[in-house]
């Protein structure tokens, strides 16, 4: 007599199907969450416009130093380009944050987008001359930095306004995909255009992209400030910026996001050493392009498999661990005996940096009140712009004093130690939990109440319109209405 199988033990075929089903569910859980794309028209517009901006902006980003070098033959002339952009980046980034909290954010996007279109047309016209003006290139580069720095905080601050609170992790990840796509495809496309057609066509492509993106921004709804917290004029903006800085320093969870990123980027940013690393250390100069793109590829893979991030609630811990993984991956890249191993390590570094960025952005979007969101976006922009600049300077100085490998490896080790010390110092950041944090809970409740009020208002409007239509129809059919 055959003994019956226990109820919990499926037949062999069923066991295999169950195993496949379980692994398929796990794989599906990693997929990119596209919910904000389906639920929010304005998020779709922002995403498309932002991706086009990055793609086109990379054209000018590559074309400017290319054109300067070919006109002057001087590496110093190219380096000056970065130096003269630093002051407007800082000043206008902070002022752009105050502007985002004082005026309609859509208007800022359209105005600054239009300015970038016109300025890039000037670069195009200059490049078409027989003898392009170097001074004009520098001047327009500074003005472009002004326009971009004024625009970025308003674009960042719009994200929490166009999606639901629980959709913010997915929205942040999708925004990162658009940015990384532009950063990966843009320079490659710019290199081909510059090599085959010259700077005029590179600027032409950027102008076309800017026109499309600005037109998309113009179709957004208006997003005026919900509260008047920044006064008009430079003095009012200065007071608003100071208030934003005090708020950021007072909140240790926010302070942690800035300091961890600054620490990681300042201590372990090896990109400036890639030419020497490829040619003199790895003896593979043809691999230079892959070294540059490895981090971006890793970032794209991380975002494409980021579905799991929505189930993580200890965001501060995730930022610290991801930043430490960035440093460790840089160490392995610096120690790699071959170019391919270095490329793999740099891809892991890029993935870790993207995960850190996702969780930092989620903390910012889910906990900062809308009336301060623009000013804090300006501070965020500085934190992830200044760190890499300082890191490249540190890497170059240490490499000149010791060696390229020593500079890369020591930077990675110091990064791991540094972020560990920061997490020990800022215990509130390490212990941050999105489910219980007072700022996250308050913003979740405020946004839920605002969404309910908007839905009730929309329902009342529809009901009122139906009533008016019914009354009009009744008056047409009632002879006494015309008497």
The pLDDT, as a whole number, for residue 320 is 95
- Torsion angle, alpha carbons of 359, 360, 366, 372, to 10: -170
Question: What per-residue confidence (pLDDT) applies to 476?
Answer: 41
Give the model confidence (pLDDT) of 409-468 as tens digits. Answer: 999 999 999 999 999 998 889 999 988 888 888 888 887 787 777 667 666 655 555 554
Burial of 397 from C-beta contacts in 10 A (0-12 / 13-18 / 19+):
exposed
What pLDDT shows up at residue 24? Answer: 52
Could you give the C-alpha distances from 69 to 64, 65, 72, 73, 76, in angstroms and in order?
9, 6, 5, 5, 9
Long-range contacts of 205-209 (CB under 8 A, 24+ apart): 205/56, 205/59, 206/56, 206/57, 206/59, 206/60, 206/63, 206/120, 207/56, 207/117, 207/120, 207/121, 207/124, 208/56, 209/52, 209/53, 209/55, 209/56, 209/57, 209/59
The whole-number pLDDT of residue 25 equals: 57
Q: Which residues of the chain have pLDDT under 70?
A: 1-31, 75, 79, 230-231, 454-455, 457-483
- What is the pTM for the complete model shown? 0.76
Looking at residue 18, what is its pLDDT? 62
How far is residue 336 from each of residues 340, 344, 403, measured CA to CA in Å? 8, 10, 15
What pLDDT is stored for residue 272 in this prediction? 78
C-beta of residue 390 within 8 angstroms of C-beta of residue 266: yes
Which residue from 109, 135, 102 is spatially nearest to 231, judged by alpha carbons? 102
pLDDT of residue 461: 58
């Amino acid at each position: 007599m055959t003994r019956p199988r226990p109820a919990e033990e499926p037949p062999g075929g069923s066991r295999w199907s169950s195993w496949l089903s379980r692994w398929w569910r796990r794989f599906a859980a990693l997929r990119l969450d596209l919910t904000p794309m389906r639920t929010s028209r304005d998020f779709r517009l922002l995403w498309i416009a932002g991706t086009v901006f990055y793609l086109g902006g990379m054209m000018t980003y590559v074309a400017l130093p290319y054109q300067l070098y070919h006109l002057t033959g001087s590496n110093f002339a190219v380096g000056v380009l970065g130096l003269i952009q630093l002051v407007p980046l800082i000043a206008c980034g902070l002022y752009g944050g105050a502007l985002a909290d004082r005026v309609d954010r859509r208007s800022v996007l359209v105005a600054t987008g239009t300015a970038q279109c016109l300025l890039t047309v000037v670069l195009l016209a200059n490049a078409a001359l027989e003898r392009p003006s170097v001074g004009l290139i520098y001047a327009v580069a500074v003005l472009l930095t002004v326009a971009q720095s004024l625009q970025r905080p308003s674009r960042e601050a719009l994200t929490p306004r166009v999606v639901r609170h629980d959709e913010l992790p997915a929205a942040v990840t999708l925004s990162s995909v658009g940015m990384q796509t532009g950063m990966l495809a843009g320079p490659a496309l710019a290199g081909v255009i510059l090599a085959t057609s010259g700077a005029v066509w590179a600027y032409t492509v950027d102008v076309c992209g800017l026109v499309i993106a600005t037109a998309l921004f113009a179709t957004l709804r208006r997003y005026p400030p919900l509260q008047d917290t920044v006064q008009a004029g430079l003095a009012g903006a200065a007071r608003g910026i100071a208030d934003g800085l005090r708020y950021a320093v007072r909140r240790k969870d926010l302070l942690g996001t800035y300091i961890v990123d600054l620490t990681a980027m300042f201590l372990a940013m090896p990109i400036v050493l890639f030419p020497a690393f490829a040619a003199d250390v790895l003896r593979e100069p043809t691999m230079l392009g892959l070294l540059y793109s490895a981090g971006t590829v890793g970032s794209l893979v991380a975002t494409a498999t980021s579905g799991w991030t929505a189930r993580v609630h200890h965001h501060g811990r995730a930022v610290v661990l991801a930043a430490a993984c960035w440093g460790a991956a840089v160490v392995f890249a610096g120690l790699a005996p071959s170019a391919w191993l270095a490329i793999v390590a740099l891809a892991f570094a890029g993935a870790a940096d993207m995960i850190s960025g996702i969780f930092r952005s989620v903390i910012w979007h889910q906990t900062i009140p809308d009336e301060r969101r623009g000013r804090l976006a300006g501070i965020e922009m500085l934190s992830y712009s200044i760190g890499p600049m300082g890191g490249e300077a540190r890497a170059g100085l240490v490499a000149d004093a010791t060696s390229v490998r020593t500079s890369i490896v020591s930077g990675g080790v110091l990064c791991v130690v540094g972020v560990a010390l920061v997490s020990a110092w800022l215990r509130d950041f390490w212990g941050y939990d999105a489910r219980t944090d007072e700022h996250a809970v308050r913003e979740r409740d405020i946004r839920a109440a605002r969404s309910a009020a908007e839905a009730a208002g929309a329902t009342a409007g529809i009901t009122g319109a139906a009533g008016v239509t019914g009354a009009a129809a009744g008056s047409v059919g009632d002879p006494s209405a015309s008497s």
